[in-house]
Amino acid sequence: MVVALDLQDFLLRARVLKLYRQALRISRRAPSDSKDEVRQIIRQEVENNRTCKDKQRIRFLISDGQERLKRLDETLDMQGR
């Protein structure tokens, strides 16, 4: 069954997917012994909130995800990765 999205839902979905792709790209830089764990955590976070329909909550989760991703990126930079 195909569900039609209004423009706002479509844009939110695009932002979520963009954040997910960015997270996976950054996870490539993680140390090899923890790379799989980082990817699993990223996927689990997305799966845990997959059924969320509250647009305000989705916006908050995107913002929180961006901050967490920024911290991960900075941590990996400090490690020289």
CA-CA distance, 13 to 51, in Å (whole number)?
12
Contact between residue 49 and residue 61 where contact means Cβ atoms under 8 Å apart: yes
DSSP 32: T
> Which residue did the predictor score with more confidence, 5 or 64?
64
Of all helices (H) and strands (E), which one includes residue 75?
helix 55-78
**pLDDT computed for residue 2 by the predictor:** 67
| pLDDT tens figures, 25-78 | 999 999 999 999 999 999 999 999 999 999 999 999 999 999 999 999 999 999
Is the torsion defined by CA of 59, 27, 31, 71 positive or negative?
negative
pTM of the model: 0.88
Here the tokens at position 45 are 């976070």
